[in-house]
Structure 1
């Protein structure tokens, strides 16, 4: 099974794409390192104050996938201080 966590983020203080990437890159690296998930910026790459990142995991157990990605989402909510979370969604395929 494959599961994805899509997080739509708002970065109100960013004034350029370079600044946005500088704030998103450490988040992506940290999520990959801490939770062993694949992470990429998937949408809104050309917008200064908005981005969509997606985390992906593969496992044979849907419950494990759901719990793991919920942990990732909770970590982002608690630890990411560069903006606000607009939306998040977990999908299991």
Structure 2
């Protein structure tokens, strides 16, 4: 059964502290998790306040469905981050059969 993984780097230019960063990351993760029924996790340590790496994973019997879902998740993340003062800087989708 195919598994899709979306990894993207988030830039949070207004973040002046770890608290600012954490607020944006937590809100993004919660909205993606509830909106798409996917697993979402922060993949890096909080060493830099204005950057974060987020991982999203999903499983389904259809590879095409997973690719479409990951594209929708990425577009939603971009919209959500615009409202939170952030941006998707880079992204990558992998599907494991």
**TM-score category by the smaller chain?**
over 0.9
User: Do the aligned partners of 2:8 and 2:92 also contact (CA within 8 Å) in 1?
Assistant: yes
Structure 1 runs (4+) greater than 6 angstroms displaced: none
For residue 44 of structure 1, report the CA deviation from its aligned partner. 4.6
Distance, in Å, in 1 between the alignment partners of 2:19 and 2:95 is 33
For residues 12-52 of structure 1, the C-alpha deviation after alignment (integer angstroms, 9 at most, x for no partner) is 11011121001110110010000000000002522100000
Unmatched tracts of structure 1, length 5 or more: none
The two structures have a TM-score, normalised by structure 1, of 0.93
User: Do the aligned partners of 1:9 and 1:84 also contact (CA within 8 Å) in 2?
Assistant: yes
Point out the more displaced range, 49-58 or 70-79: 70-79
RMSD of the alignment, in Å? 1.1
Unmatched tracts of structure 2, length 5 or more: none
Q: Which residue of 1 aligns with 2:4?
A: 3
User: Do the aligned partners of 2:81 and 2:88 also contact (CA within 8 Å) in 1?
Assistant: no
